[in-house]
Amino acid sequence: MPSLLDGTLEERLEAIRIISTREGIGFPLVLKPNVAQRGAGFRKIRSLYDAEEYLSRVSAPLVLQKYVAGPREAGIFYYRLPDEMNGHIFGITRKTFPVVTGDGKHTLKEHIERDPRARLLSETYLARLGAKAGCVLAAGEQFRLVEAGNHCQGCIFTDGWDLYSEALRATIDTISRKVPGFFIGRYDVRYERDEDLRAGKGFTILELNGAASEATNIYDERNTLWSAYRTLYRQWELVYRIGARNRDRGHHPTTPVVIFRDWCEFSRGAVEYPVAD
């Protein structure tokens, strides 16, 4: 996945042109910070004008990605103990992108405020929409409220264990073994058909999130707070088991000072990130 390095605005725009040509990536494409969380700074870029506007606001190193429409997205949480032959899928999350359907009368803002679920995140949606919130959609016209597959940005998460199959587990395991030092984390993938994902094919990996990520099926509104904590405790028990076994194999943990330094560096850069799409 190519990154845009530091430089002047002109140098970064030229880097976009070079990378897009080399990788065969056309508009729309995605720009997002190389280090971020909760979908912060994710932008769907439709033109060089959009890219210039984004780059003028964000100086942090960025990632350029091909835009993958989906239309479906899932989060697949994987783990493998260092001395195990085969890895496991710990949890799967279905991600639903809320859509507003126009009636030719009401504005986007009014549709959001009338929806029993969308109104709970109306502040997030309206900040993203800006002046568009006052637009009236034609009858039957649909408008997607969020592009980033993150619950903090308004995407809806539900448990997706029905997508599990041995074929999917084997494919994710094969991919994971190609990433040096990776034993636990979450793949965010987009795909077209459930049956293809279950067959372990037809999906595109958007991100690989490491040990600090979570099994996002805990955010299914049908779960209780207790079940969410129970899942997190199981997940972190695995993280510590993997860490202990890696230490036994001679690896050294990152020191608290380094972690704090990295956090401070991230926090300084994050204030530049625009509202995510």
CATH code at 166? 3.30.470
Indicate whether 1 pLDDT > 70. Answer: no
Same domain, 236 and 174: yes
Indicate whether 270 pLDDT > 80. Answer: no
Q: How many domains does the chain have?
A: 3
Q: Locate 251 and state its tokens.
A: 């690896």
In a domain, 172, yes or no: yes
Same domain, 77 and 211: yes
% of the chain residues with pLDDT over 70: 96
Indicate whether 2 pLDDT > 50. Answer: no
| Per-residue confidence (pLDDT) for residue 147, from 0 to 100 | 80
In a domain, 263, yes or no: no
Domain enclosing residue 134, as ranges: 99-145
Please provide the average confidence, as pLDDT, over all residues in the chain.
Answer: 89
In a domain, 264, yes or no: no
Same domain, 242 and 167: yes
In a domain, 267, yes or no: no
> Of 52, 45, 8, 6, nearest to 25 (Cα)?
45
Q: How far is CA 68 from CA 16, 56, 170, 205, in A?
A: 17, 25, 23, 9
Q: What is the pLDDT of residues 55-65, one digit of tens each?
A: 888 888 888 98
Residue that is last in its domain, among 145, 180, 207: 145
| Per-residue confidence (pLDDT) for residue 229, from 0 to 100 | 95
Same domain, 38 and 105: no
32, 2 contact by CB (below 8 A): no
> Of 197, 199, 192, 238, nearest to 215 (Cα)?
238
In a domain, 48, yes or no: yes
Same domain, 191 and 80: yes
Indicate whether 157 pLDDT > 90. Answer: yes
In a domain, 199, yes or no: yes
Eight-state DSSP code of residue 254? P
Q: Which residue has the tokens 């439709």?
A: 46
Same domain, 107 and 92: no
Arithmetic mean of pLDDT, 138-157: 86
Same domain, 180 and 213: yes
Indicate whether 135 pLDDT > 60. Answer: yes
Q: Locate 164 and state its tokens.
A: 């599990």
Indicate whether 4 pLDDT > 60. Answer: no
184, 211 contact by CB (below 8 A): yes
Same domain, 83 and 56: no
52, 66 contact by CB (below 8 A): no
Say how many residues make up the chain: 277
Q: What is the pLDDT of residues 74-83, one digit of tens each?
A: 999 999 999 9
In a domain, 260, yes or no: no
Arithmetic mean of pLDDT, 174-201: 96
Same domain, 7 and 47: yes
123, 117 contact by CB (below 8 A): no
In a domain, 202, yes or no: yes
Same domain, 235 and 165: yes
